[in-house]
């Protein structure tokens, strides 16, 4: 099944860092990637997070896309791999102890030193977030500190949901650059 000429053109524009092309591709393929994740995860918020990460990664790596393959398949493969990475990461973060015939989770409370380190990391992160443009700062706070869905943010800001998705993606990219520089 050949990709449409419009899709190929938008991919080429995206490779040239055209923001409208990124938005077009996000709008065109969002439902495909999101529904793929929702079927796997069965959690809307996590599916949204992985979907936005998928597009972020895809747009960062757009120049590696080979047009011999269907773009939607490429996006879904990125999304699937991100989900697998997340599962592995979560598995590694759990401490399991074998007791008799079952496993139970080991509960450990953070030490005062851990609390202090986490507080300092949070302060540092908030300081870096404060360097963002107000519109980017707002969506990051709503998404990650208030834990709102894209739909809730869209409603709160009275902005189309696709604008919110793009703004979160851009804010995360800029924040990553700020963190990398420090």
Number of domains in the chain: 2
Whether the pLDDT of residue 162 is over 90: the answer is no
Does residue 181 or residue 73 have the better pLDDT? Answer: 73
| Position 2 confidence tier, pLDDT thresholds 50, 70, 90 | low
Q: What is the pTM of this model?
A: 0.61
Do residue 23 and residue 62 come from a single domain? yes
Parent domain of 57: 5-93
Helix locations, 42-160, DSSP H: 44-60, 71-93, 112-129, 134-140, 150-157
Cβ contact 170:52 at 8 Å? no
pLDDT digits (tens, 9 = 90+) for 86-132: 887 766 655 443 444 444 444 455 667 766 777 787 787 888 888 88
Whether the pLDDT of residue 41 is over 50: the answer is yes
CATH number of the domain that residue 72 is part of: 1.10.1740.10
Whether the pLDDT of residue 48 is over 90: the answer is no
Kindly state whether residue 34 falls inside one of the protein's structural domains: yes
Task: State how far the Cα of 182 lies from the Cα of 179, in Å rounded to an integer.
Answer: 5
The pLDDT of residue 124 is 79
Mean pLDDT (the chain) is 82
| Position 169 confidence tier, pLDDT thresholds 50, 70, 90 | confident
Decide which of 63, 93, 123 is a domain's last residue: 93
Task: State how far the Cα of 19 lies from the Cα of 12, in Å rounded to an integer.
Answer: 12
The Cβ of residue 2 has, within 10 Å, a number of other Cβ atoms equal to 7
CATH number of the domain that residue 166 is part of: 1.10.10.10
Kindly state whether residue 105 falls inside one of the protein's structural domains: no
Please tell me the number of Cα atoms within 13 Å of 126 on its side-chain side. 7
**Tokens linked to 135:** 């519109």
Do residue 69 and residue 14 come from a single domain? yes
pLDDT digits (tens, 9 = 90+) for 62-72: 999 988 889 99
What is the pLDDT averaged over residues 139-155?
A: 88
The pLDDT of residue 115 is 67
Kindly state whether residue 131 falls inside one of the protein's structural domains: yes
The pLDDT of residue 129 is 86
Kindly state whether residue 170 falls inside one of the protein's structural domains: yes
Kindly state whether residue 57 falls inside one of the protein's structural domains: yes
Give Cβ neighbours of residue 9 (< 8 Å, ≥ 6 apart). none
Do residue 14 and residue 87 come from a single domain? yes
Kindly state whether residue 69 falls inside one of the protein's structural domains: yes
| Position 29 confidence tier, pLDDT thresholds 50, 70, 90 | very high
Please tell me the number of Cα atoms within 13 Å of 18 on its side-chain side. 12
Do residue 116 and residue 69 come from a single domain? no
Do residue 12 and residue 84 come from a single domain? yes
Task: State how far the Cα of 153 lies from the Cα of 175, in Å rounded to an integer.
Answer: 19
């Amino acid at each position: 099944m050949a990709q449409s000429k419009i899709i190929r053109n938008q991919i080429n524009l995206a490779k040239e860092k055209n923001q409208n092309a990124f938005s077009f591709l996000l709008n065109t393929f969002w439902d495909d990637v999101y529904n793929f994740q929702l079927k796997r995860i069965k959690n809307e918020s996590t599916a949204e997070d992985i979907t936005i990460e998928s597009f972020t990664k895809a747009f960062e790596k757009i120049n590696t896309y080979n047009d011999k393959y269907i773009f939607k398949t490429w996006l879904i493969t990125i999304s699937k791999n991100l989900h697998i990475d997340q599962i592995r990461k979560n598995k590694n973060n759990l401490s399991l102890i074998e007791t008799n015939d079952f496993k139970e989770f080991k509960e450990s409370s953070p030490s005062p030193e851990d609390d202090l380190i986490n507080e300092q990391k949070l302060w540092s992160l908030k300081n870096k977030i404060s360097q963002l443009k107000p519109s980017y700062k707002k969506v990051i706070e709503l998404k990650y500190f208030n834990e709102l869905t894209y739909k809730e943010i869209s409603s709160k800001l009275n902005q189309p949901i696709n604008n919110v998705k793009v703004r979160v993606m851009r804010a995360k990219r800029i924040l990553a650059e700020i963190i990398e520089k420090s």
